[in-house]
Amino acid sequence: MDLSAPINELKRKAKIISRETGLAHSQALDCVAGEEGYATWSLLIRKYEDQKPNPVQSTSSGYLIESLPVDDGYRVEAIALANSTFEEVFRRIEPDNPKATRELWNASDYVDNHHLRNDMLPIDSEYALSLIEVLLVHYVIDLATKADGLFAEPD
């Protein structure tokens, strides 16, 4: 589609025509469209929009997880990520009973029993890994709370 000018300039031209001739703005737009070889402005715009490139959908670098338990390759990656995320969260929350909290932490158990549920499937593997980073905070806080309960001083 070859237009004599960009759309914004064609709109400006229609505005000038509308002011100079007293035509309604929509009629001036149709006049400009006629000069460009289209019956109406809406047809010109529709053709213009159809020829715009569509935004590129980002292709996922992961794969689809369709059933549980997850495959061994994903499990190993998820456990490594869970362990590193645990360390970050652990440093941030500074639990009152750090030793007990660490003893309660089991990355394999987290990945196997808490990370994904059947109602979340199918899910992209990269998105599933990102959930570890987001949701592990609450899990670690729960572990710290449980550790506090185990070592609470009797009244």
Q: How far does CA 46 lie from the centroid of its chain? A: 30
pLDDT(53) > 90: no
Q: Residue 109: what pLDDT?
A: 97
**Per-residue model confidence (pLDDT) at position 35:** 94
| Distance between CA atoms of residues 144 and 7, nearest Å | 61
> Domain limits of the chain?
7-51, 64-150
Strand partners, 124: 64
Alpha helices in the chain (DSSP H): 7-21, 25-35, 41-51, 72-93, 98-104, 107-110, 125-150
Indicate the pTM of the whole model. Answer: 0.59
Burial (CB count within 10 angstroms: exposed 0-12, middle 13-18, buried 19+), residue 66? exposed
What percentage of the chain exceeds 90 in pLDDT? Answer: 79
Model confidence over 2-31: pLDDT tens digits?
888 889 999 999 999 999 999 999 999 999
pLDDT tens per residue across span 95-132: 999 999 999 999 999 999 999 999 999 999 999 999 99
- Residue 57: band (very low, low, confident or very high) from pLDDT cuts 50, 70, 90: low
Report pLDDT for 33. Answer: 94
pLDDT value for 58: 60
**Coil vs helix vs strand at 19:** helix
